[in-house]
Structure 1
Amino acid sequence: MSRLPSKETLKKDSKDSLAAARDIRFDPNIDTLVASLSLLVLWGIYYYQSVSESTESVVVFLLIGNFALTIAFPIYYVCYTRGEPLSAVGITTDGWKPAVLVSIVVAVLFFPGLLATEESTAVLIPHIITVGLMFWEPFFVHGFLQIRFEQAFGVLPGIVLAGSGFALFHVGTAGLLGVVVLLALGLFHAVLFSVFSRNILVLWPILWAVGSSQGTLDSVVFGWEEAMAYTVILLVTGAVIIGTHRKRR
């Protein structure tokens, strides 16, 4: 039977957490620049797709905005160009059990709000599934941006910058109140990600499917066609991650 952590261990962990939170520095580098520029490019793609109803904008949004720029590029840059492991983009087994448990608990707390939207089950099910398949958003914002910002400026600034980045690429497509709500959600997600071993599983897919579904229903409703598109993207993403894991190992 596993033993509970001692008081000394808890005290040490608490001190380590406080020390990390107080670690504020200014050490930007090429990684910081790459992360910032990729965020600006994503904002442009997101805005273009929101104001254009053309097929081209949808293709650009899916292939570039939801895969090439936000998944393939971060993995290539961090793991191949910089030679770092997948854990450097939040893909890790470290702390996965508490991460998944917290994700489930928070999702359960958010679920009544999702039901309060009064959408029918036929609408909610494909919408929740589609949002849950969207790996790109939590991965890009937290696995890529947040870790780069934390390395450059410290834990707390990294959390603030990641949350702000999440709100930033919605500017122009969401109203002022919507951007403020997205900022609050981004900060909340960033705190969870930082506290729970920077493991993407604390956010995706469980919490993301429930929490983000509630927010997106106000502006867009996803159906089975979108679910199929994101299934294909996720399968390709899985192949990229597995290939990278094998090469790095």
Structure 2
Amino acid sequence: MKEAANSGKGKTLLISAGIEIMLIICITAANLNPTPILYFVFYNLLYGLVCSLFIPLYCLYKENGVPASGSVLAEAGFKKPGIRQWVVLAVFVVFSVGGQLIPKMAVGEQIPWRLLPMGIAPLIMTTFFEEFLFRGFVQSRIDRQFGWVSAILVSGAMFSLYHLGYPGFRTWEDILLLFAVGIGFATAYKLSGNNLIVSFFVNLPNAFVTYILKYEQFPVMRVSSNIAAAVTLVLIVLILLSCYHCVRSGAHGVRS
């Protein structure tokens, strides 16, 4: 029993490290020659759909089996939020977003809100991939096998280090700041009872604000980026709906 548990822990760490390396490689490749088609292939498809969604879903289904009565998606954090979850969400959004905007607005600094519309769809897409992978998949597994402190640290570290793939976030200052931000997202996920909806909506406003304040560090957002992100978001919804119906049909098959 103990050997099986240790083997499971080693497998979790190996999968997490392997995915992290693939993320950095894919994002780096996407930004080397960011033509619309190559960016879509390396970023939206390989980094996003393959590494951040398909591989975690495959691992979860291999562990739980298809007729798991919804446990696969629930394990990844797809849970209905309650009062506790809404409180956690509100507190973290106020502190993270307010902490960035209020000091600048207090001294009369102009906030370039005009930049936001072009970044909405790509940031929604990227935020989903981040939260599903780092919180829903990695943190939930590490929490179960190593404890919540290790889970928060690993989740925060992976969130920080994967930004090495982005040319604008490769300084030590950025990596350390992103580690602190990742710890915050991971803490919100834990305090919400591992609720992916909460961590997603804690991350998303922060991503919007960070983009408009540090847009020069982000990949250039074009019309093609928004079209590609919209297509990818539709694919995400279709994949998750397929998983949901697959789980339900499997559960009905078991009962019958």
Q: TM-score, normalised by structure 2?
A: 0.76
1-structure distance, mates of 2:160, 2:78: 23
The match for 1:207 among 197, 202, 210 is: 202
Shift in CA distance, 97/238, structure 1 to aligned 2, threshold 3 Å: farther
Matches within 5 A, 1:106-125: 106-112=92-98, 113-114=100-101, 116=104, 118-125=110-117
The match for 2:134 among 118, 141, 149 is: 141
1-structure distance, mates of 2:86, 2:234: 21
Contact 1:70/1:140 (8 A) holds in 2:
yes
Q: 1:192 aligns to what?
A: 188
Matches within 5 A, 1:213-228: 213-217=208-212, 218=214, 219-220=217-218, 222-228=221-227
Matches within 5 A, 1:222-241: 222-241=221-240
Unaligned runs of 5+ in 1: 1-24
Deviates more, 1:62-71 or 1:101-110: 101-110
Q: CA-to-partner distance for each residue in 1:172-210, whole Å, 9 max, x for gaps?
A: 632110000100000111111011111111121x33221
| Structure 1 residue 145, shift from structure 2 partner | 1.2
Contact 2:93/2:205 (8 A) holds in 1:
yes
Contact 1:141/1:162 (8 A) holds in 2:
yes
Unaligned runs of 5+ in 2: 66-70, 249-256
1-structure distance, mates of 2:93, 2:131: 15
2-structure distance, mates of 1:28, 1:80: 16
| Structure 1 residue 49, shift from structure 2 partner | 2.5
- SS state at 2:89 partner: helix
1-structure distance, mates of 2:83, 2:133: 22
| Structure 1 residue 163, shift from structure 2 partner | 0.4
1-structure distance, mates of 2:135, 2:164: 18
Q: 1:7 aligns to what?
A: none
Shift in CA distance, 109/224, structure 1 to aligned 2, threshold 3 Å: farther
- SS state at 2:22 partner: helix
Contact 2:116/2:211 (8 A) holds in 1:
no
Contact 2:77/2:195 (8 A) holds in 1:
yes
2-structure distance, mates of 1:235, 1:114: 31
Deviates more, 1:145-154 or 1:109-118: 109-118
Contact 1:146/1:159 (8 A) holds in 2:
yes
Deviates more, 1:195-204 or 1:170-179: 170-179
The match for 2:79 among 80, 92, 97 is: 92
- SS state at 2:9 partner: coil
- Answering whether residue 37 of structure 2 is matched by residue 50 of structure 1, we say no
| Structure 1 residue 70, shift from structure 2 partner | 0.3
The match for 1:39 among 7, 11, 20 is: 20
Q: TM-score, normalised by structure 1?
A: 0.78
- SS state at 2:221 partner: coil
Contact 2:135/2:155 (8 A) holds in 1:
yes
Q: 1:243 aligns to what?
A: 242
Q: CA-to-partner distance for each residue in 1:219-241, whole Å, 9 max, x for gaps?
A: 12535543332222122111111
AA aligned opposite 1:32: L
Contact 2:122/2:226 (8 A) holds in 1:
yes
Percentage identity across paired residues of the two chains: 18
- Answering whether residue 153 of structure 2 is matched by residue 160 of structure 1, we say yes
- Over the residues paired in the alignment, what is the CA RMSD in angstroms? 2.6
Q: CA-to-partner distance for each residue in 1:138-179, whole Å, 9 max, x for gaps?
A: 111111111122223111011101101111112363211000
Contact 1:103/1:201 (8 A) holds in 2:
no
AA aligned opposite 2:85: A
| Structure 1 residue 53, shift from structure 2 partner | 3.4
